[in-house]
Amino acid sequence: MPEKGKFDKESDIFQSHRDFWENLPGTVLRAKVDFTRDPLRMQIHTENIKGDYSVERLDIEKLVNDTKQAHQDRPVVNGDVFECVQLAPVIPWMEAIIGCRIYVLGKGASMVAKPSDIEPVKLPQHLRHVLDNLEENACFKKLIDGYKGLAEVLGPKYPIAPTLMRGPGDMMGALLGHENLVWLMLKPDENREFLNELLDLCAKIYIKTARMQLEQGKEFEGGYVSEYGVWAPGLNVGVQEDEASLMSPQLYNEFLLPYNIQEVDAFDYSIFHMHSGYVMTVYNWSDLSKRSNIKALEVNLDLRGPTVENLMETMIEINSKKPLVIDSANEEQVKAVEEHILDFPGSVLQRLQDVTSI
């Protein structure tokens, strides 16, 4: 595989990615997600690190060098997509930036965010301050330094993608408490203005944070690559809203959908992440597709979610409108998708999330 600078822009991989975004029938891309690319995640698992975690005390220089080490022997191409580099996607960066407390879960190889100690009535003022002073925010500064560092130590060999970027509902659920957020939504006459202001501020913080990472990470072959590994000729991000799993379709449409649209419309290319347990019920992917600039949709096949057979009608309907990414948790799910691969009317990226390395 050629090094960066030797890629032919008309080569098969770039053409296949153009075909993917065009939702060209018969376009099938395949790749494997290897969690060993995140050295901090591996350290948490190996050393069974648990408890409070301060992103502010994170040694960015060490993290950048560890990330370089984790990627240096990997080929630039992973299956049919690019091997992109992210800065510590195990960290809930958006939640940390807005002031949530962060906890490490040891052998679970993950981190979670808990509500801050800020009184709810003071949250609008707090988030406005965060938005207006992002470059002074300790966690945001860590991201800036990290992405500058990755660009320096990796050079142009690998595309650098934004890290884990949870949506405004996810951010608000972490900041207020997930149950508290839903209870507030259930009394819209009393709380609508308050919640809309907070969600709008979170969406704007997301947009500025994602743009910063794209700018610091630099272009790759005249475009950008998100965490999905697909190259695009414009700003390219992943968007998600896992908080939807706690909501009715009505609450999602009323409170979260407008801000998912706001996020998506801020970028040229984006892929919206959905969990399979809620893709047939809560996520309003149809209106998102009609009302926004969303370029592709993802269905993450949850181990305890609906079977591939039960999801096929919905996935085919999605794929008739947009390119589709399917993330499988095991080989059995991959095989089930492959059995139907010729049924998809548009382009498909099939990824296996390899958790066996953890």
Instruction: Decide: helix, strand or coil at residue 126.
Output: helix
Q: What is the pLDDT of residue 35?
A: 83
Tell me what pLDDT residue 36 has: 86
- Could you tell me the CA-to-CA distances from 290 to 3, 104, 184 in Å, in that order? 39, 39, 28
Structural domain boundaries, residue 188 = 12-354
* Tokens linked to 97: 């930036």
Using the 8-state DSSP alphabet, how is residue 36 labeled? Answer: G
Q: How far is CA 133 from CA 138, 139, 211, 221, in A?
A: 10, 12, 15, 32
pLDDT at position 305, please? 92
CB atoms within 10 A of CB 6: 8
Q: Per residue in 136-181, pLDDT tens?
A: 999 999 999 999 999 999 988 899 999 999 999 999 999 999 999 9
What ranges make up the beta strands (E) of the chain? 28-34, 50-53, 77-78, 81-82, 101-105, 111-114, 224-225, 231-232, 236-240, 269-275, 296-300, 324-328, 348-354
Give residue 70's pLDDT.
Answer: 93
As a residue count, the chain comes to 358
DSSP string, 267-309: SSEEEEEEETTTTTTT--HHHHHHHS---EEEEE--TTS--HH
Q: How many structural domains comprise the chain?
A: 1
Residue 128 falls within a domain, yes or no?
A: yes
**From CA 311, how far away is CA 326, in angstroms rounded?**
11
CB 134 within 8 A of CB 127: no
7: in domain = no
Structural domain contains residue 44: yes
Q: Does residue 5 lie in a domain region?
A: no
* Residue 124 domain flag: yes
Burial of 59 (C-beta count, 10 Å sphere; 0-12/13-18/19+): exposed
Quote the CA–CA distance of 334 and 349 in Å, as a whole number.
Answer: 11
| Domain of residue 148, CATH code | 3.20.20.210
Q: CA 139 to CA 117: how far, in whole Å? A: 17
Q: Which residue has the tokens 């953890």?
A: 358
Alpha-carbon 40 to chain mean position: 18
Beta carbons of 239 and 270 less than 8 angstroms apart:
yes
- Is residue 1 a part of any domain in this protein? no
Domain-embedded: residue 288 = yes
In a domain, 6, yes or no: no
Q: Which residues of the chain register pLDDT less than 70?
A: 1-10, 355-358
